[in-house]
Amino acid sequence: MSTLTLRAAPPERLDFLAINPLALSRLSQAEAERLEVGTTRRGVRLGDCFSVSLDGSDTLTIEGGHERLDRVGAALSEGAIRITGDVGQRLGAGMAGGRLTVTGHAGPYAASGATGGTIIIEGDAGDHAGGAVYAAKAGLDGATLIIRGSAGAHLGDRMRRGIILAGRAGAFAGSRMIAGTIAALAVGDHPGYGMRRGTLVVGAHGRMSPTFVETGAHDLVFLRLLARSLKGLSAEHADLLGRPLRRYSGDLATIAKGEIWVAS
Amino acid sequence: MSDLTLNGIRVVDTFAEAFDVAGTAIVVTNDTAKWAMIAATTMTGFATSVIGCGAEAGIDAELSPEETPDGRPGVRILLFGFEPKGLKEQLIKRVGQCILTCPGTACYAGVDGPTKIKLGGAIRYFGDGFAIAKRLPDAAGKARRYWRIPVMDGEFLCEDSVRAVDGAVGGGNLLFLGRTHSETLKVAEIAVEAAKAIPGAILPFPGGIVRSGSKVGGRTKGMMASTNDAYCPTLKGRAGSALPAECGVVLEIVIDALTSQGVSDSMRAGLHAATEIGSRHGLIAVTAGNYGGNLGRHHYHLRDLLEKEG
């Protein structure tokens, strides 16, 4: 297992796009230490902030995270990265495969555009987790994002496919969803605002948009399949589907093929 | 006729001639086993022969809730056609008319294979634009795509596509030469039970048994197939009859399977089961149907099936 150990707080925001197990396995320790990770003209290199220990394996541990570490795991396509601590924005953005685990909190836009793999945030996530960055066509795009703590506003904004699980989420969860599935124990106001398709399963919610219409309680086969899919990810979220559920259809301001299932 | 014997019953030293076919499997589930079986029975009706029905189909197995994707009771159905295109047409028609229409059903792929057949992706148009696609990981973590089509009892859930296998074989067969109708039917019934117990094999004729075995062509112009006169007891004594004088009835079982081994295993099981009780039920001999070996590339020689284990 390769390890990067944070020696001191980074002097500026660091871009970890190029730091992943596959890339590091091709480098010597000296070459890895010379990788540029700074985002200013100061030219901060990996070895300036981290002590580096490489063994060529497909697992990388980053000991000591920091909210200035941006795009951690963004180029991950295989293997695993584990960060003990916090990370900055765009955790796993565009990630294609593998497993990314953060024991602390993550900044905004975590898992944006991620097409594969699993991203687990043990703490909280910022706004737009699984959401689209500005001008991007889609947010989460096939990966699985699990947020054990709370997510900020606009969770899964414009997500296109994949699964997001969150403890609690802020307002506008699932806004502008293209497709995919979000399950949260509670969400804020206006869940599914502007969603076209997709599924939200929530334990509780804030104010519902007036462009959603209740269709009643339904015992659908789809819910059985969804519960089975979620069971391996989070029993707590799968249990939501075992409770009586009311279904809301919307957003009627769009093509209205989305749905919000509310557990009672 | 030769002097092969099994359990004291004469076995003709000949072979069954079978053909490469396109085959697929689907799993149909419902809230109760009863309604899953109703759907499966309806879908596999009028599916005895590819020539006349467009497909050959049958029920492979009843599945417990633990064996199905949605945790409900289910039935595994096998469907065979001449080629993938014809198979697809029949599959869509039969699922559309018999599974979609049946209260409470859902439909899933029942086998993996190299050829993709769009199923839910075709039937979704019944949803008139209201159907919803959903991609979810299955128990093994593999992403599967489903269509949720609004219907009057809720939703019909159907997997987007199913798979056709390579190596499916249709036309394995055994002919039972008996003395009386009731006794020969009993022998054939026992053979059917043993033959269909092989996973991945079905017997598409009524109760698994066919009394109207056929030969290729006929004396009437345009007939693709006509009665197998060599095995009709009322035509005994004519030139070309293959029946001994004491034979009064011939019944045949026909076997389709997803693999050639499945056909072989199923024929073996049927042959042994029939001969084990044959002497008590007037069974005279067991033979098999072929076309001289020139039409189908799969030849199942009965002498190779005499051992109980293949």
Cβ-proximal residues to A24 (8 Å cutoff; 6+ apart), any chain: A2, A32, A54, A60
> What is the per-residue pLDDT for A124?
98
Q: Are A74 and A103 in contact (CB under 8 A)?
A: no
Give how far Cα A158 sits from Cα of A163, A180, B276, Å.
Answer: 13, 10, 67
B184 has a pLDDT exceeding 70:
yes
- Determine, yes or no, domain membership for A165: yes
pLDDT tens per residue, range B83-142: 999 999 999 999 999 999 999 999 999 999 999 999 999 999 999 999 999 999 988 888
**Number of folded domains that form chain A:** 2
* Domain, as residue range, for A15: 1-57
- pLDDT at B294 exceeding the cut of 80: no
Give residue-wise pLDDT tens across range A66-113.
999 999 999 899 999 999 999 999 999 999 999 999 999 999 999 999
Q: Distance from CA of residue A133 to its chain's centroid?
A: 13
Asked if A188 contacts A208 with a C-beta cutoff of 8 angstroms, the reply is no
**How many whole angstroms separate alpha carbon B259 and alpha carbon B119?**
22
Tokens 């947010």 sit on residue: A139
ipTM value, please give it: 0.92
Let me know: does A74 contact A93? Beta carbons within 8 Å: yes
Q: Are residues A88 and A145 in the same domain?
A: yes
- Please, what is the average pLDDT of chain A? 96
Q: How far is CA B276 from CA A91, B6, B88, B306, in A?
A: 69, 8, 40, 12
Same-domain status, A133 and A4: no
Residues A75 and A179 in one domain: yes
A53 and A101 in a single domain? The answer is: no
In a domain, residue A157? The reply is yes
Residues A209 and A139 in one domain: yes
Q: Which of A11, A33, A57 is the last residue of a domain?
A: A57
In angstroms, how far is CA B62 from the centroid of its own chain?
15
User: In A85-138, where do the E strands start and end?
Assistant: 99-102, 118-121
Q: How far is CA A3 from the centre of its chain?
A: 23
Interface of B with A in 69-98 (CB under 8 A): 69-72
Question: How close does chain B come to A250, measured CA to CA in Å?
Answer: 12
Sign of CA dihedral B44, B48, B50, B52: negative
Give the chain A residue nearest B159 (alpha carbons). Answer: A222
Same domain, A81 and A132: yes
Residue A61 has a CB neighbour count (10 Å cut-off) of 17
Percent of chain B with pLDDT over 70: 99
Peptide bond into B265 cis (omega under 30): no
Q: Do A222 and B141 touch (CB under 8 A)?
A: no
Compute the average pLDDT of residues A193-207. 97
Q: Based on the domain organization, do A53 and A77 belong to the same domain?
A: no
Q: Residue B120 corresponds to which tokens in the numbers above?
A: 């839910």
Give A238's strand partners.
none
Q: Do A6 and A99 fall into the same domain?
A: no
CB within 8 Å: A229 and B137: yes
Tokens describing residue B261: 């081994």
**Predicted pLDDT of residue B2:** 56
Neighbours of A27 (CB within 10 A): 16
Report chain B's mean pLDDT, rounded to a whole number.
95
Tell whether A256 is within 8 A of chain B (Cβ). no
For chain A, what is the largest distance between any 2 Cα atoms, rounded to a whole number of angstroms? 63
Quick one: A90 and A196 in the same domain?
yes
In a domain, A65, yes or no: no
pLDDT > 70? residue B53: yes
A62: in domain:
no
**8 Å CB contact between A140 and A130:** yes
Q: Quote the CA–CA distance of A117 and A79 in Å, as a whole number.
A: 10
pTM (predicted TM-score): 0.92
Answer yes or no: do A75 and A52 share one domain: no
Report how far residue B25's alpha carbon sits from residue B164's, in angstroms, rounded to the nearest whole number. Answer: 8
User: Does residue A252 belong to the interface with chain B, where contact is any CB pair within 8 Å?
Assistant: no
